[in-house]
Amino acid sequence: MKTRLTFLMLAGMLPGLAAADSLGLWVGAGQWDREVTGYVRDTNDPADNFNLDNAAQGVAMGDKREGYLYAVIEHPVPMLPNVKVVSTSQSHSGSGTYNRTFGGITFSEDVDATLDLDHTDITIYWQVLDNVVELDLGLTARKYDGRVRVVGKTSGNVGEEAIDKTLPLGYARVGFDLPLTGLSLAVEGNLISVGDSSASDITAKVMYETSFGLGVEGGVRKQTIELDLADTKTVASDLTFNGVFAGVFFHF
């Protein structure tokens, strides 16, 4: 229902959409320094929660700094969407003690574990405003290519579950240009809530662009992933990733 409402809202706005003055291309890269909290499990029993921030009931996964890449294409053709593609590396690892079942294996020992949630976003969006204040609205398809892997230190047993899922998300971005300074501010996010599953990814950043197109950016990013076992068929989760990022970009 919420996805249908998003489409109807976008359709209603199409007659008043803004368009870029000329073809523009942005490419960028940076690093996200983050922590992870929460749990995963692959049964319907909450007692089987495999915690990622508690070494006594799972593992304590430390902070991780990894890269992201993106490219954005904007054009002056009315009605046609602009395109943004983002690739984010997202993995954590840790050690602890686990006395429950994961991946069909019952553990009662110290374990090592890894969480991989690498994902690629493909976003189409339309510019509703394109002045000192910018407003973009659109839709994102996020493809997760990940897994959770638990290895018993004593037994050597391995429990593993894949997290291969594509989520449709609503997309919005609000930007503010500070005239004659090269500075700008932006808040952007993706969000979906369907049944007992939801996901959000919110970024707030400051950017500085030189007169020849080279720029730097930095800010904070918070991502939540709450998946229901009935939806994924592999794992349930309630995860939060939070931290700062910094990067560079070039505007052609």
Tell me the C-alpha to C-alpha distance, in Å, between residue 124 and each of 35, 136, 138, 139, 237.
Answer: 29, 10, 6, 6, 27
- Residue pair 74/127 in contact (Cβ under 8 Å)? The answer is yes
**Lowest-confidence pick of 38-42, 45-49, 105-109, 241-245:** 45-49
Written as six digits, the tokens of 172 are 């919005």
Distance, CA of 38 to CA of 217 (rounded, Å): 29
- Residue pair 5/191 in contact (Cβ under 8 Å)? The answer is no
Give the rounded percent of residues in the chain with a pLDDT score beyond 70. Answer: 91
> What residues contact residue 57 under an 8 Å CB cut-off, 6+ apart?
49, 51, 96, 97, 98
pLDDT of residue 144: 93
Evaluate if residue 132 carries a pLDDT over 90: no
pLDDT of residue 17: 58
Q: What is the pTM of this model?
A: 0.88
Neighbours of 65 (CB within 10 A): 12
- Where does the pLDDT of residue 9 fall: very low under 50, low under 70, confident under 90, or very high at 90 and above? very low
- Where does the pLDDT of residue 1 fall: very low under 50, low under 70, confident under 90, or very high at 90 and above? very low
Task: Give the number of domains in the chain.
Answer: 1
Q: How many CA atoms lie within 13 A of 147 on its CB side?
A: 10
Q: What is the mean pLDDT of the chain?
A: 91
End-to-end CA distance of the chain: 39
Q: What is the CATH number of the domain that holds 67?
A: 2.40.128
Each residue's pLDDT tens digit, 41-85: 999 999 899 999 999 889 999 899 999 999 999 988 878 999 999
Closest among 59, 150, 46 to 107, alpha carbons compared: 150
Distance, CA of 217 to CA of 199 (rounded, Å): 24
Distance, CA of 186 to CA of 216 (rounded, Å): 13
Evaluate if residue 22 carries a pLDDT over 90: no
The range of the structural domain enclosing residue 119 comes to 2-251
Higher pLDDT, 127 or 21: 127
